[in-house]
């Protein structure tokens, strides 16, 4: 279906860019009922909404003319949450309105404000910027909105998440009340609806997708991993897919660690976090877009507004905090009709959390094991045999060189050398533990009085070669057992700490999986192994029998400690007096 537009200049721009038919959001904003009205639009990331509101603005600023009118002050103001998104919007609107003589200016943080000031003074038709920088220009008098006919809020939900509410209200109050207001957001939350009520008039609500539904072009997979092998699992997934990937982490420290580790392993990787300068961010994104880098490791905030049309893979190295974050992360792939893949790395101890997260987002994920080195090498062989370079005829001096090589070496030796050269450029796969299939979950949670918890003899016993002399303590033993065995705290029963070893119980239904996990490990923090139950060497002290002297409160101290050097409380005095009378 062709674009339902009558403006010849915009039609030429779309044709030059290869736009044959509109996306759902583009078609919706071009319907007759949406013409010259305020719009409240809910659209997924990557749905073509920039071109959508670019086309929707044409009737307001151009009418039936093919050329934009001469003006000094901007006719349109577009507000975006991040520098990257603002610059992408600037680029999209530039090519769309170029045949109409449009002049588009960007105003974003991190750029030279003096250059932006000169651009604004020269006059323009549209301004695209971030909230903070736009407010700065308004306060300095560089930007005037007296002739502004339309304001667009792109990804309004992210702007509110980033704390730009005050800046948005300042900018919207500076624009004429007769303007059009177009508000685009991935989700229409309560705050977005309130913003629309305050600054829109008779807005048309457009939902191009079912609410709270995941992106149909994205496939979700959950990867089961042992807790301490998350990095190895990430390495093998990157090697297996060999796709342009965006890896999400929760903190800057994790971004730095993974970036350094992947570089050391031979990956072409870049990092994005809030501590980078704008030039460093631009260099990283440029490397990713032109193919010099295949992997980008980023935090949620640093990746907001990124537009990487050819991104095929998103990996959640650390689980998202909520469903909105997961959908925003995953929405970086599967854009403009392309298929995308979203992988969640799930340690065994966090499986339940991952299941709740997927359920809250109405996502059905396939649970898989991480690729093994053998599977990766088999995939490498398939890629080598399918490489198009093998089917191309020799050109230039290649034929003469090939004949000289054949005269010196056998075809088998040359082929073997080719294989070695091909493998030398590939990062080495990592060793991973394949967890046994998880046993079915109980229909109801375990009761506090269940016989297994707290009673020795009902579980399967294992041992660790550390004890009291090594300062063994359940506070750090339990997390260690969970990491190495791929179990949760609820699967651990009694713990018995001796002088030189510690014995602990694992629930019968998870013991086999636990045993397989620890047996497959090499170089573990502590060597865990199966064990017999504690024998005669472990005896509990007998309970005292007969009349006993009353215990003194506060560890045998007659008077309670005075809080902060003050007087004892009335309750403390009563307890002391009661203890004295009993004695």
User: Is residue 317 a contact partner of residue 246, using CB atoms and an 8 Å limit?
Assistant: no
Given a cut of 80, is residue 35 above it in pLDDT? yes
Provide the pairing of β-strand 295-299 with 340-347: unpaired
pLDDT, tens digit (0-9, with 9 covering 90-100), for 39-59:
998 877 667 889 999 999 998
Residue 192 pLDDT: 78
CA of residue 189 relative to chain centroid, distance? 20
CATH code, domain with 330: 3.40.50.300
Same domain, 199 and 257: no
The answer to the question of residue 493 being in a domain is yes
Which residues, at least 6 apart from 402, have a Cβ–Cβ distance to it below 8 Å? Answer: 394
Q: What is the CA radius of gyration of the chain?
A: 32
Same domain, 350 and 466: no
Mean pLDDT value across residues 334-339: 69
Mean pLDDT value across residues 246-258: 91
The answer to the question of residue 55 being in a domain is yes
The CA distance from 413 to 411, in Å, is: 5
The CA distance from 417 to 412, in Å, is: 9
Residue 448 pLDDT: 37
Same domain, 162 and 248: no
The CA distance from 368 to 219, in Å, is: 13
Same domain, 367 and 229: yes
Given a cut of 90, is residue 371 above it in pLDDT? yes
The answer to the question of residue 126 being in a domain is yes
pLDDT band for position 76 (cuts 50, 70, 90): very high
Given a cut of 50, is residue 249 above it in pLDDT? yes
Structure tokens at 421: 């050269």
Domains in the chain, number: 3
User: Is residue 456 a contact partner of residue 494, using CB atoms and an 8 Å limit?
Assistant: yes
Given a cut of 50, is residue 565 above it in pLDDT? no
* Three-state helix/strand/coil letters over 129-174: ECHHHHHHHHHHCCCCCCCCCEEEECCHHHHHHCCCHHHHHHHHHH
Count of residues in the chain:
583
Residue 149 pLDDT: 94
Residue 305 pLDDT: 62
Same domain, 251 and 368: yes
Residue 209 pLDDT: 59
Q: Which residue has the higher pLDDT, 483 or 506?
A: 506
Number of H-type helices and E-type strands within the chain: 21, 18
pLDDT, tens digit (0-9, with 9 covering 90-100), for 131-173:
999 999 999 999 999 999 999 998 887 787 778 888 999 999 9
Same domain, 166 and 249: no
Same domain, 245 and 362: yes
pLDDT band for position 311 (cuts 50, 70, 90): confident
Same domain, 187 and 254: no
The answer to the question of residue 413 being in a domain is no
End of a domain among 207, 232, 259? 207
Residue-averaged pLDDT of the chain: 83
Given a cut of 50, is residue 554 above it in pLDDT? no
Q: Which residue has the higher pLDDT, 577 or 373?
A: 373
The CA distance from 279 to 380, in Å, is: 36
The CA distance from 288 to 295, in Å, is: 7
Same domain, 137 and 33: yes
Mean pLDDT value across residues 185-209: 81
End of a domain among 346, 374, 402? 374
Quick one: angle between helices 411-424 and 398-408, nearest 10?
A: 120
End of a domain among 207, 239, 257? 207
Q: Which residue has the higher pLDDT, 136 or 525?
A: 136
| Number of alpha carbons in the 13 Å side-chain half-sphere of residue 189 | 10
pLDDT band for position 194 (cuts 50, 70, 90): confident
Given a cut of 60, is residue 556 above it in pLDDT? no
The CA distance from 225 to 234, in Å, is: 10
Residue 443 pLDDT: 40
The CA distance from 421 to 196, in Å, is: 60
The answer to the question of residue 407 being in a domain is no
Report how far apart, in Å, the C-alpha atoms of 547 and of each of 513, 543, 558 are: 49, 12, 21
Report how far apart, in Å, the C-alpha atoms of 462 and of each of 31, 180, 438, 476 are: 69, 69, 19, 16
For 183-192, 217-226, 257-266, which range has the lowest pLDDT when averaged over its residues?
183-192
Residues of the domain holding 226: 218-374
Three-state DSSP at 202 gives: coil
The answer to the question of residue 248 being in a domain is yes
Provide the whole-model pTM.
0.65
The CA distance from 273 to 526, in Å, is: 34
* Three-state helix/strand/coil letters over 226-248: CHHHHHHHHHHHHHHHCCCEEEE
pLDDT band for position 102 (cuts 50, 70, 90): very high
pLDDT band for position 266 (cuts 50, 70, 90): very high
User: Is residue 351 a contact partner of residue 486, using CB atoms and an 8 Å limit?
Assistant: no
Same domain, 339 and 296: yes
Report how far apart, in Å, the C-alpha atoms of 249 and of each of 18, 160, 325, 344, 483 are: 36, 22, 12, 11, 19
Residue 482 pLDDT: 84
Which residues, at least 6 apart from 326, have a Cβ–Cβ distance to it below 8 Å? Answer: 316, 320, 344, 357, 361, 363
Given a cut of 70, is residue 552 above it in pLDDT? no
Closest alpha carbon to 171 in 198, 205, 135, 136: 135
pLDDT over 70 percentage in the chain: 86
The answer to the question of residue 562 being in a domain is no
Which residues, at least 6 apart from 556, have a Cβ–Cβ distance to it below 8 Å? Answer: none
Q: Using alpha carbons only, what angle is made at residue 249 by residues 348 and 426, rounded to the nearest 5 degrees?
A: 85
Given a cut of 60, is residue 444 above it in pLDDT? no
Same domain, 150 and 236: no
Given a cut of 60, is residue 22 above it in pLDDT? yes
Residue 564 pLDDT: 44
Residue 18 Rama label (left phi>0; alpha psi -120 to 50; beta): left
User: Is residue 82 a contact partner of residue 130, using CB atoms and an 8 Å limit?
Assistant: yes
Residue 42 pLDDT: 85
> φ, ψ for residue 173 (rounded to 5)?
-70, -25
The CA distance from 302 to 248, in Å, is: 10
The CA distance from 481 to 489, in Å, is: 9
Q: Where are the beta strands (DSSP E) in 492-583?
A: 492-497, 502-506, 529-530
Instruction: Give the strand order in the sheet containing 150-153.
Output: 104-107, 126-129, 76-79, 150-153, 180-185, 39-42, 204-207
Given a cut of 90, is residue 427 above it in pLDDT? yes
Given a cut of 70, is residue 568 above it in pLDDT? no
Given a cut of 90, is residue 527 above it in pLDDT? no
The CA distance from 477 to 497, in Å, is: 10
Q: Which residue has the higher pLDDT, 450 or 100?
A: 100
Given a cut of 70, is residue 440 above it in pLDDT? no
Same domain, 270 and 164: no
CATH code, domain with 492: 3.30.70.330
The answer to the question of residue 449 being in a domain is no
Given a cut of 80, is residue 572 above it in pLDDT? no
């Amino acid at each position: 279906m062709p674009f339902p537009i009558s403006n010849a200049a915009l039609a030429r721009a779309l044709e030059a860019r290869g736009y044959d038919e509109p996306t759902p959001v583009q078609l919706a904003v071009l319907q007759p009922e949406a013409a010259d009205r305020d719009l409240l639009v809910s659209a997924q990331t990557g749905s073509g909404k920039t071109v959508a509101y670019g086309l929707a603005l044409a009737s307001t600023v151009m009418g039936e003319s093919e050329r934009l009118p001469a003006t000094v002050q901007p006719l349109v103001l577009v507000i975006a949450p991040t520098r990257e998104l603002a610059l992408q919007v600037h680029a999209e609107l530039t090519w769309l309105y170029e045949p109409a003589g449009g002049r588009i200016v960007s105003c974003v943080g991190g750029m030279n404000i003096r250059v932006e000031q000169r651009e604004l003074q020269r006059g323009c038709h549209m301004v695209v910027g971030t909230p903070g920088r736009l407010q700065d220009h308004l306060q300095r008098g560089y930007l005037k909105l007296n002739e502004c006919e339309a304001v667009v809020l792109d990804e309004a939900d992210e702007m509110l998440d980033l704390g730009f509410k005050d800046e948005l209200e300042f900018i919207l109050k500076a624009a004429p009340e007769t303007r059009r207001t177009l508000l685009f957001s991935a989700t229409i939350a309560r705050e977005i609806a309130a913003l629309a009520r305050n600054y829109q008039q008779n807005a048309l609500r457009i939902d191009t997708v079912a609410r709270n539904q995941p992106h149909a072009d994205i496939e979700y997979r959950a990867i089961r991993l042992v807790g301490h092998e998350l990095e190895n699992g990430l390495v093998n997934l990157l090697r297996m897919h060999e796709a342009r990937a965006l890896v999400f982490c929760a903190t800057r420290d994790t971004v730095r660690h993974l970036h350094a580790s992947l570089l050391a392993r031979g990956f072409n990787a870049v990092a994005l976090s809030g501590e980078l300068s704008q030039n460093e961010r631009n260099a990283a994104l440029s490397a990713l877009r032109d193919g010099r880098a295949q992997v980008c490791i980023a935090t949620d905030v640093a990746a907001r507004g990124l537009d990487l049309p050819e991104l095929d893979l998103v990996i959640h190295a650390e689980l998202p905090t909520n469903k909105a974050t997961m959908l925003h992360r995953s929405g970086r792939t599967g854009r403009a009709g392309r298929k995308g893949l979203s992988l969640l790395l799930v340690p065994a101890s966090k499986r339940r959390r991952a299941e709740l997260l997927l359920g809250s987002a109405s996502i059905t994920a396939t649970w898989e094991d991480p690729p093994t080195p053998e599977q990766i090498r088999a995939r490498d062989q398939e890629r080598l045999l399918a490489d198009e370079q093998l089917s191309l005829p020799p050109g230039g001096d290649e034929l003469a060189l090939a004949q000289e090589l054949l005269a010196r070496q056998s075809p088998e030796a040359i082929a073997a050398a080719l294989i070695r050269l091909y493998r030398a450029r590939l990062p080495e796969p990592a060793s991973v533990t394949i967890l046994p299939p998880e046993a079915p979950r109980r229909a109801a949670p375990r009761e506090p009085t269940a016989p297994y918890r707290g009673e020795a003899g009902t579980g399967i016993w294992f041992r660790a070669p550390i004890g009291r002399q090594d300062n063994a303590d359940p506070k750090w033993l339990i997390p260690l057992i969970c990491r190495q065995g791929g179990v949760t705290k609820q699967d651990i029963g009694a713990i018995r700490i001796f002088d030189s070893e510690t014995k602990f119980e694992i629930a019968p239904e998870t013991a086999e999986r636990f045993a397989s996990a620890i047996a497959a490990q090499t170089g573990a923090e502590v060597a865990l192994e199966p064990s017999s139950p504690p024998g005669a060497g472990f005896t509990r002290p007998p309970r005292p029998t007969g009349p006993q002297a009353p215990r003194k409160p506060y560890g045998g101290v007659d008077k309670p400690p005075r809080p902060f050097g003050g007087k004892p409380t009335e309750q403390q005095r009563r307890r002391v007096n009661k203890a004295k009378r009993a004695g």
